Amino acid sequence: MNAAKRLEIFRRFHEDNPEPKTELAYSSPFELLIAVILSAQSTDVGVNKATAKLFPVANTPEAIHALGVEGLSEYIKTIGLFNSKAKNVIETCRLLIERHGSEIPQTREALEALPGVGRKTANVVLNTAFRQLTMAVDTHIFRVSNRTGLAPGKNVVEVEKKLMKFVPKEFLLDSHHWLILHGRYVCLARKPRCGSCRIEDLCEYKHKTSDD
């Protein structure tokens, strides 16, 4: 895919949604971090239902740590893998208190040192909470990048590096959100909705569908 196509793709994304946001509900960098840890292999809708009950009761490292694994599990038991996530979150809260003065670190290395935080989660927090130029590649972004020809790669790190290189600089900060939303609602895994796709004429996918 050439640079002119990429520019037009993101120009249209921006035109349709000038200020894209994550669909996870949060009101602080800490709440975002917890929500993203909980969202692994789960839906944002499911996470939001759980955190809507959790955060009014506990939304600081100290308050969640005080719940303990069993106490936290009661709030998040509707989420997949809740047992392991509860353990990770409690340990993460302990480390935030002990090592970071209960503040969320603003480097990928420090974030990835927290239990339950991988490269993707760290990139989401850095981009969404701290507005750093990072690219969190999830299954949606990996699919869209390969299917459209925007930034094909064999693994998420390869796709991440290509997107960081190829996305026009003026659109890079918000591109993560546009690509996720496009993958979530238009460029679906089983059958893309090419008939209602804003960038169908720019996409290089060879097996386009004719219906919505």
pLDDT in tens, 39-96: 988 899 999 999 999 999 999 999 999 999 999 999 999 998 899 999 999 999 999 9
Annotated binding site: 187, 194, 197, 203
Note the helical H segments in 101-138. Answer: 108-112, 119-128
87 given a catalytic annotation: no
Annotated binding site for [4Fe-4S] cluster: 187, 194, 197, 203
Phi-psi region of 35 (alpha: psi -120 to 50; beta: other; left: phi over 0): alpha
201 given a catalytic annotation: no
| Residue 207, burial from CB neighbour count under 10 angstroms (0-12, 13-18, 19+) | exposed
Whether this model's pTM surpasses 0.85: yes
Q: How many CB atoms neighbour CB 71 within 10 A?
A: 15
Residue ranges of domains in the chain, CATH in brackets = 3-20+135-202 (1.10.1670.10), 29-130 (1.10.340.30)
Annotated active-site residue in 77, 138, 161, 212: 138
Annotated active-site residue in 5, 21, 85, 120: 120
Note the helical H segments in 77-168. Answer: 82-100, 108-112, 119-128, 139-148, 156-166
